[in-house]
Amino acid sequence: MAIGEKDATSGARSETGASKTDKRKQSLYFPESMLQEIKEEAARLDRSLSWVVQRAWKLSRLDIKKLPSVNDVDGSDDDADD
């Protein structure tokens, strides 16, 4: 499932051509069960799906940056716990 699509033409542009908030169209794909959990949390918090995903990123980005890059992995698959 895809969520979080934004139109590249929305938002005010400055003289340099950059908007204060990046409004490029993006599609994010989540497993159905994960998307359902995000929807439930968004409803519980009375927030948008986009807000929940952005907040989750802000809270977890330092941990994510600690993960090894694909070039640093020894070939084992760490996604087995998902």
Give the span between the Cα atoms of 20 and 2, in whole angstroms.
Answer: 25
* 27-80 pLDDT tens trace: 999 999 999 999 999 999 999 999 999 999 999 999 999 999 988 866 555 565
Which amino acid type is present at position 14? Answer: S
Does the reported pTM lie above 0.75?
no
78, 64 Cβ separation under 8 angstroms: no
